[in-house]
């Protein structure tokens, strides 16, 4: 779609529709196809809440903290492909929402966040609950607006949805002063809305670049497809095209944390996740490949490890919808600007007409090498019959939920990495995690959002005991709206990843990473009106997980796990992909990381 | 791909990339906060701003022109251009430095204090540099000088020994030769 399409006067047009600003907001949401939104009322958004009161087509979910609203909207967006909508008040309402807004920016999640603002004549006077919302959110949104004139409001509302959802998706904030919500003006629908900006992201890859990419892939002897969240964002068709391209080219596939599920974990060409806690075979294949095809991935430092030793012998094809992503970290030999789905489809079509020599023989040595790496069995761990190993807990959770309609969210830390390693995702949009920002407290409210979008599905937040306490109050939201989310806490009483780093990098000085007063999660569940379950013995785990799944209510599951378990394999900071540590190397890890590596995060 | 293409991204002269100055003309929608978006981008990503000028240049089209002089390796400069392009409020970014049709000029006001021979010498040099005297007292001049930043630097250097008091500079402005509009 082009940004400026000429607007023709419709002879059958109805008379101008006069609405208040607040009514325009609600009407624009309906016209944009919004059915659910997440919010918290306050003085500066009361007119909009009043308009919501009269609008049965919008289902508003009242959260307990505005951060919860933004994460819920993110979970909603990631699991549906639709934009998430948030409505909060001025001042603290807006500032509380900031963490979720940054999270959405980092992970390219489409959000439209509507914030109330003090009346225009009070802006700049340090009025009650005033803050410079557009100033605060300018650097953490894809775009933001302060609407000072009600005549601009419908145009801004519709443009915000376009900006949030097209190109590289992201959060858009619309700050609306209270007097503008009360003022009356002419409403226009999405079709008549004027776009003030020349915003028009490019979605189709340049044919010449696609031909170059095909040429490289066709000649590769050690190719790899490295996919990211962009493939998920591009919709289910992109995952389909990825699977087709992998089948045609015979190339192994790895993915970032954000891209899990785009390619089925059960497929023999799947190598597992890449990066710091990725699979041994995936990281080695990235290091040794001769052609790397990065699709909707951004060479994050958690993926590349040491940059000057990152995949030194490969030519790199980088497919991305964001021009600033291509060449930002790693120089691309071929950059293809476009939507991951469209470019992948073009590659599939191009491959079919190119008819390159059969791949099986050309890649035989490569697959032999990969099988050798797989032989290291990097996710092996010492089983136990007396304590629940966290890896075992995730394996059991996967086995007992795999044949159901399941969505997984996580918090951030060790449990998140174990979830990524041991839960095997087969479909896109089933995995919601805070990748870029690494926001502890993301998973519980995100699960609320996912469950709102998929009321009949099984929604599980794989949580840590520390993270989950950051946004625990959203359990109350889950109860209020009968959202039977399952909070599966791998409880080791530590901030596990912090503890792991302190053990490995800071001489086992466990500075403030132990939670000495852990709440009783079972009683906490009961206090909220949810079901509380506790597992302490591996023998009981399956039955309790089944009880959790079958419960019609929200559940907090306190899974007591091995307290000192570390997350492996691991690329120590400052090291290259082929310098991975496996579980058995634990003893000398402190010696492996040099001073320079220790300074990295 | 040609056959002499490097085997890897790391073979592409990665090691010795020197920093260079670059001037970007950024055409933006003239709306509140737009300058902050551009300046904030530089601050947030750690890019340097050597000079910056901004004014509305087309009232009817609501566009402003921001001219930024910055410094970086070719990779950083490419990234700056891409990041500027990415702003929703940006209509177009022009790399003036690498454009053979790019013209850059700067204006400076230079106050010089002096009497006797030094005062005469200042005036003579100003004439050579085609600087205009826009104010004078018995013991001072204010010169207005336009030209490339280099030329202005040289003039200021010369004035230093002749009683330089104060300098005010606009920062670089740019435009493209020929009949086209960007």
B8 closest CB neighbour out of A315, A324, A327: A315
Q: B32 CB near a chain A CB, below 8 Å?
A: yes
In the numeric block, which tokens belong to residue A10? 């419709």
What CA–CA distance (Å, rounded) separates B68 from B40? Answer: 13
Q: Could you give the percent of chain A with pLDDT greater than 90? A: 89
| Cβ distance of A333 and B32 shorter than 8 Å | no
Q: Could you count the other beta carbons within 10 Å of the beta carbon of residue B150?
A: 10
Selection from A562, A561, A558, A564 nearest residue A472 by Cα? A558
Residues of B in contact with A333 (CB under 8 A): 1, 5, 9
- For A167-180, how does the pLDDT look when each residue is reduced to its tens digit (9 = 90+)? 999 999 999 999 99
Selection from B47, B46, B92, B105 nearest residue B66 by Cα = B92
pLDDT tens, position by position, A83-92: 999 999 999 9
Beta strand pairing status for B102-113 and B140-147? antiparallel
Q: B17 at the A interface (CB within 8 A)?
A: no
- In terms of Cα–Cα distance, which of A185, A123, A110, A106 is closest to A152? A185
The CA-based angle A482-A486-A491, given to 5 degrees, is: 140
pLDDT at A581 over 80: yes
What are the E-state strand segments in A197-328? Answer: 223-227, 253-255, 270-273, 291-295, 315-320
CB contact under 8 A, B79 and A139: no
Cβ-in-10-Å burial (0-12, 13-18, 19+) of A479 comes to middle
For tokens 């497929």, the residue is: A267
Pairing of strands A84-88, A111-117: parallel
**Quick check: is A129 catalytic?**
yes
Q: How many CA atoms lie within 13 A of A296 on its CB side?
A: 32
Rounded to 5 degrees, what are φ and ψ at A336?
Answer: -120, 115
Question: Which tokens go with B139?
Answer: 């013991």
Q: Do A142 and B88 touch (CB under 8 A)?
A: yes
- Contact list, B5 vs chain A (CB under 8 Å): 333
Residue A279 has pLDDT above 80, yes or no: yes
pLDDT of residue B7: 43
Residue A66 a catalytic site member: yes
Rg (chain B; Cα; Å)? 21
C-alpha distances out from residue A594 to A311, A506, A589, Å? 21, 12, 10
- Which of A:175-204 have CB within 8 Å of B? 196-199
A246 phi and psi angles, rounded to 5 deg:
-65, -40
B122-166, pLDDT tens digit by residue? Answer: 999 999 999 999 999 999 999 999 999 999 999 999 999 999 999
Mean pLDDT for chain A overall? 94
pTM, whole model, 2 decimals? Answer: 0.93
Please tell me which of the candidates B1, B40, B79 has its beta carbon nearest to residue A215. B1
Q: Does B37 touch chain A (CB under 8 A)?
A: yes
* Contact residues, A window 314-333, toward B, CB-based 8 Å cutoff: 314-316, 322-324, 326-328, 330-333
Helix (H, G, I), strand (E, B) or coil at A410: strand
- Which residue bears the tokens 């080791």? A492
A566, two tokens: 């570390």
How far does Cα A182 stand from its chain's mean position?
36
SS3 A527: helix
User: In chain A, positions 213-242, which contact chain B (CB-CB < 8 Å)?
Assistant: 215-216
Distance CA(A555)–CA(A521), nearest Å, equals 10
From the list A32, A74, A117, A178, the catalytic residue is A178
CA distance A284 to A408: 28
Chain B residues whose beta carbon lies within 8 Å of the beta carbon of residue A215: 1
Of A17, A55, A129, A493, catalytic = A129
**Locate tokens 């919004």: which residue?**
A34
CB-based contact, B36 to chain A, within 8 Å:
yes
Asked whether A118 and A127 are in contact (CB, 8 A), the reply is yes
**How big, in percent rounded to 5, are the helix, strand and coil portions of chain A?**
40, 15, 40
What 3-state class would DSSP assign to A236?
helix
Calpha distance A544→A556 (Å, rounded): 11
Instruction: Out of A23, A66, A474, A565, pick the active-site residue.
Output: A66
Mean pLDDT by 10 residues, chain B (182 residues): 41 64 96 94 94 93 95 94 96 92 95 95 97 96 97 97 96 91 72
pLDDT in tens, A300-334: 999 998 898 999 999 999 999 999 999 999 999 99
Residues contacting B37, CB < 8 A, separation 6+: A138, B28, B87, B89
Chain B residues lying within 8 Å of A292, measured CB to CB: none
Rg of the Cα atoms in chain A: 25
Shortest CA distance from B10: residue in chain A: A312
Q: Chain B 101-130, CB below 8 Å of chain A: which residues?
A: none
């Amino acid at each position: 779609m082009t940004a400026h399409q000429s607007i023709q006067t419709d002879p059958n047009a109805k008379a101008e529709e006069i609405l208040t600003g607040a009514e325009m907001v609600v009407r624009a949401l309906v016209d944009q196809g919004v059915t659910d939104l997440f919010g918290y009322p306050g003085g500066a958004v009361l007119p909009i809440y009043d308009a919501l009161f009269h609008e049965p087509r919008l289902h508003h979910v009242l959260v307990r903290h505005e951060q919860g609203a933004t994460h819920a909207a993110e979970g909603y967006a990631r699991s549906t492909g639709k934009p998430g909508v948030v409505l909060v008040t001025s001042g603290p309402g807006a500032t509380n929402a900031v963490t979720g807004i940054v999270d959405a920016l980092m992970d390219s999640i489409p959000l439209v966040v509507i914030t109330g603002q003090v009346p225009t004549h009070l802006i700049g006077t340090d009025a009650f609950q005033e803050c410079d919302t557009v100033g605060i959110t300018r650097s953490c949104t894809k775009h933001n607006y302060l609407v000072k004139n009600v005549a601009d409001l419908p145009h801004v509302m519709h443009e915000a949805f376009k900006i949030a959802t097209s190109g590289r998706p992201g959060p858009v904030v619309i700050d609306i002063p209270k007097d503008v919500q009360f003022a009356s003006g002419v409403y226009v629908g999405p079709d008549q809305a004027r776009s003030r900006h020349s915003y028009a992201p490019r979605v189709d890859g340049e044919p010449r670049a696609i031909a170059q990419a095909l040429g490289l892939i066709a000649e590769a002897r050690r190719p790899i497809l490295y996919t990211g969240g962009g493939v998920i964002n591009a919709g289910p068709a992109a995952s389909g095209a990825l699977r087709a391209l992998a089948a045609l080219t015979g190339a192994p596939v790895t993915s970032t944390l954000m891209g899990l599920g785009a390619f089925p974990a059960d497929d023999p060409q799947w190598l597992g996740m890449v990066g710091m806690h990725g699979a041994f075979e995936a990281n080695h294949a990235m290091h040794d490949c001769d052609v790397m095809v990065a699709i909707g991935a951004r060479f994050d430092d958690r993926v590349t490890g040491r940059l000057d030793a990152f995949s030194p012998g490969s030519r790199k094809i980088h497919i991305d919808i964001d021009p600033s992503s291509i060449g930002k970290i790693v120089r691309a030999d071929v950059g293809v600007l476009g939507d991951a789905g469209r470019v992948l489809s073009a590659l599939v079509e191009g491959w079919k007409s190119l008819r390159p020599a059969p791949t099986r023989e050309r890649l035989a040595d490569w697959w032999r090498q990969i099988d050798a790496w797989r032989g290291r069995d990097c996710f092996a761990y010492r089983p136990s019959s007396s304590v629940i190993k966290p890896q075992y807990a995730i394996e059991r959770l996967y086995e007992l939920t795999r044949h159901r309609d399941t969505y997984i969210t996580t918090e951030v830390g060790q449990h998140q990495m174990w979830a990524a390693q041991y839960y095997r995702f087969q479909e896109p949009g089933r995995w919601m995690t805070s990748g870029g920002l690494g926001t502890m407290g993301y998973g519980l409210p995100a699960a609320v959002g996912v469950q709102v979008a998929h009321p009949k599905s099984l929604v599980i937040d794989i949580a840590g005991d520390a993270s989950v306490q950051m946004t625990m109050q959203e359990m109350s939201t889950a109860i209020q709206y009968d959202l039977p989310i399952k909070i599966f806490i791998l409880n080791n009483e530590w901030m596990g990843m912090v503890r792991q780093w302190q053990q490995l990098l800071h001489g086992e000085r466990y500075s403030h990473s132990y939670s000495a007063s852990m709440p009783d999660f079972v009683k906490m569940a009961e206090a909220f009106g949810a079901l509380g379950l506790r597992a302490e013995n591996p023998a009981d785990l399956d039955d309790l997980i089944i009880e959790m799944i079958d419960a019609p209510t929200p559940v907090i599951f306190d899974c007591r796990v091995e307290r000192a378990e570390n997350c492996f394999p691991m690329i120590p900071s400052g090291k290259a992909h082929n310098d991975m540590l496996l579980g058995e190397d634990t003893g000398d890890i402190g010696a492996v990381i040099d001073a320079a590596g220790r300074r990295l995060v | 791909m040609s056959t002499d293409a490097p085997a890897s991204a790391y073979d592409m002269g990665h090691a010795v990339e020197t920093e260079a100055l670059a001037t970007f003309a950024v055409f933006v929608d003239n709306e509140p906060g737009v300058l902050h978006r551009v300046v904030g981008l530089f601050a947030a990503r750690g890019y340097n701003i050597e000079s910056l000028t901004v004014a509305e240049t087309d009232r009817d089209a609501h566009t402003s022109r921001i001219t930024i002089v910055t410094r970086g390796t070719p990779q950083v400069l490419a990234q700056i251009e891409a990041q500027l392009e990415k702003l929703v409020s940006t209509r177009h970014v022009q790399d003036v430095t690498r454009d053979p049709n790019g013209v850059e000029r700067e204006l400076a006001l230079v106050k010089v204090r002096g009497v006797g021979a030094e005062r005469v010498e200042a005036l003579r040099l100003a004439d050579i540099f085609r600087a205009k005297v826009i104010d004078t007292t018995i013991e001072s001049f204010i010169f207005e000088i336009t030209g490339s930043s280099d030329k202005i630097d040289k003039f200021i250097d010369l004035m230093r020994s002749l009683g330089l008091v104060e300098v005010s500079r606009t920062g670089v402005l740019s435009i493209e030769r020929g009949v086209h509009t960007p």
